[in-house]
């Protein structure tokens, strides 16, 4: 074949081969849609990385009846609650404001006594085993309000989620009130600390069989997101059922710093492990170095020297090219035994790090999934935390941009134009898992745009 020859490969599920005119029309429509996506996202021709991300995320927003939702990843994920809501932050960065409003209406309609669906299977929303999805819902409401009506951010909270009088503000109020008193699926606030107790396997690190990361007790990111919700409810003056939202937020913030900060290690503990009914003050401190504490910095709850120290620790032990290890290759306390269905021990409890996501699903891959496997969707949060910890000084922003830019190699390997779900924690960091993951793309675009506004 001569040099500089262009070749097109056409794949179709049509029973008959499409006519050449159909292919030309499809190509033109697609090119126009991509161009509109770039314009809505506000990414210039001089920003090829931003344009790649803005193009990639268009594959994940889909219709659900009259509303919108997000496919978590291809080829095997559907719409998960937490994934969709985490993605919504990046969708806002891409200019998809109406789509995010529709997404909030869709999920707001499903809220029941402080719970949201963990996964939607057709019309089945009974899977509500998540303590983070309702809190991410609150984050998205806040960011949509700030973006849609910066002068009057409260307007968005009046958006109706059903044919009745129920609005987004009422959904947030329901989440807040039931988290305080207790939800039907077991989530409840510890009154003394104002921290949230979460049942086993209710966070994004939800591998259940075998129990690779149970995290029963007080997971660090749940507290961070809870504080954000409390502050939001106080800001919009939503009535509380008892103690004020401000008072709860202040106490939860104090408790976060008191119980989670590990001064000799330079980061926040990942979880205060405790069975139901145990106050946070009596919980066992899990010192495993994981990525979840970085949201405390990216949301501005943790600042100053401590934040800088925590980011530096993550840089040393968690960062790999384009991804963030879910567990550092370090000893942990207390031990973390992972057992199979037959009770057999599948790991070294004192050093549970798995560097490669490969082998048998139930005896090797699942134990590795959140115990060393590096995730692409959390990596942008690290880059944001780095810039914020040093107050967006030019050198910090430049460093964060350079690190986030390392994601570009993932876009040209594996599933071209998309970012894989995970990579191995050990070199050469082979791409694994879902070939195209929504929150990896949306978070990368969100933080990339943030860093370019500084």
Cβ distance 316 to 240 under 8 Å? no
Q: How many helices (H) and strands (E) does the chain have?
A: 15, 16
Tokens of 96: 């998809």
Tokens of 338: 């992972």
Residue by residue, pLDDT tens for the chain (454 residues) are 677 788 888 888 888 888 888 888 888 988 999 899 899 999 999 999 999 999 999 999 887 777 677 899 999 888 788 999 999 999 999 999 999 999 999 899 999 999 999 877 667 778 899 999 999 999 999 999 998 766 666 789 999 998 778 999 999 999 999 999 999 999 999 999 999 999 999 999 998 888 899 999 999 999 999 999 999 999 999 999 899 999 999 999 999 999 999 999 999 999 999 999 999 999 999 999 999 999 999 999 999 999 999 999 999 999 999 999 999 999 999 999 999 989 999 999 999 999 999 999 999 999 999 999 999 999 999 999 999 999 999 999 999 999 999 999 999 998 999 999 999 999 999 999 999 999 999 999 999 999 998 8
Topology (CATH level 3) of domain 52-452:
Glycosyltransferase (1.50.10)
What is the spatial distance between Cα 61 and Cα 138, in angstroms, rounded to a whole number?
Answer: 20
For 384, list phi and psi in degrees, rounded to 5.
-65, -45
Angular region, 417: left φ>0, alpha ψ -120 to 50, beta rest? left
Pairing verdict, β 284-286 and 188-190: unpaired
What is the spatial distance between Cα 44 and Cα 417, in angstroms, rounded to a whole number?
Answer: 18
Q: Which residues contact 416 (CB under 8 A, 6 or more apart)?
A: none
Q: Which residues contact 180 (CB under 8 A, 6 or more apart)?
A: 188, 189, 241, 242, 248
Tokens of 430: 């082979």
Distances (CA, A) of 20 to 24, 25, 28, 30, 213: 6, 9, 13, 15, 52
Distances (CA, A) of 120 to 183, 222, 267: 19, 22, 35
pLDDT of residue 120: 74
**Tokens 């894989």 -> residue:** 420
| Helix (H) or strand (E) run with residue 285 in it | strand 284-286
DSSP 200-237: TT-SS----SS-S----EEEHHHHHHHHHHHHHHHHTT
Cβ distance 294 to 310 under 8 Å? yes
Cβ distance 332 to 288 under 8 Å? yes
pLDDT of residue 429: 96
Domain boundaries, the chain: 52-452
């Amino acid at each position: 074949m001569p040099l500089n020859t262009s070749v097109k490969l056409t794949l179709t599920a049509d029973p008959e081969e499409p006519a050449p005119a159909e292919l030309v029309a499809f190509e033109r429509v697609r090119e126009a849609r991509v161009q509109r996506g770039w314009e809505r996202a506000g990414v210039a021709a001089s920003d090829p990385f931003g344009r790649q991300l803005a193009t990639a995320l268009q594959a994940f927003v889909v219709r659900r009846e009259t509303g919108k939702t997000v496919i978590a990843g291809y080829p095997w994920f559907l719409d998960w609650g937490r994934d969709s809501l985490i993605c919504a932050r990046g969708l806002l960065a891409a200019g998809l404001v109406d789509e995010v409003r529709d997404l909030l209406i869709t999920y707001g309609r499903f809220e029941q006594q402080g719970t949201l669906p963990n996964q939607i299977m057709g019309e089945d929303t009974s899977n509500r085993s998540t303590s983070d999805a309702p809190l991410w819902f609150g984050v998205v409401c806040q960011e949509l309000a700030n973006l849609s009506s910066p002068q009057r951010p409260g307007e968005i909270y009046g958006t109706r989620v059903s044919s009745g009088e129920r609005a987004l503000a009422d959904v947030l109020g329901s989440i807040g009130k039931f988290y305080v008193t207790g939800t039907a699926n077991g989530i409840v606030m510890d009154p003394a600390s104002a921290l949230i107790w979460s049942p086993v396997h209710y966070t994004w690190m939800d591998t259940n069989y075998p129990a690779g990361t149970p995290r029963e007790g007080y997971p660090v990111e749940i507290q961070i997101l809870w504080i954000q919700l409390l502050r939001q409810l106080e800001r919009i003056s939503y009535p509380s059922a008892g103690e004020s939202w401000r008072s709860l937020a202040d106490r939860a913030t104090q408790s976060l710093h008191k119980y989670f900060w590990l001064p000799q290690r330079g980061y926040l503990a990942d979880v205060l492990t405790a069975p139901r009914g145990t106050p946070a003050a009596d919980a066992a401190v899990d010192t495993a170095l994981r990525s979840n504490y970085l949201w405390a910095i990216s949301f501005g709850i943790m600042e100053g020297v401590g934040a800088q120290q925590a980011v530096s620790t993550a840089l040393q032990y968690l960062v790999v090219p384009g991804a963030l290890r879910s567990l550092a290759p370090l000893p942990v306390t207390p031990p973390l035994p992972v057992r199979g269905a037959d009770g057999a021990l599948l790991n070294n409890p004192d050093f549970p790090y798995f560097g490669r996501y490969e082998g048998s699903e139930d005896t090797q891959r699942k134990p590795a999934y959140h115990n060393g496997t590096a995730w692409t969707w959390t990596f942008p949060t690290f880059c944001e935390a780095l810039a914020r910890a040093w107050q967006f000084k030019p050198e910090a922003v430049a460093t964060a941009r350079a690190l986030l830019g390392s994601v570009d190699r993932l876009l040209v390997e594996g599933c071209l134009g998309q970012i894989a779900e995970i990579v191995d924690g050990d070199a050469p960091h082979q791409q694994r898992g879902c070939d195209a993951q929504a929150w990896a793309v949306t978070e990368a675009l969100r933080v990339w745009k943030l860093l370019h506004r500084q």
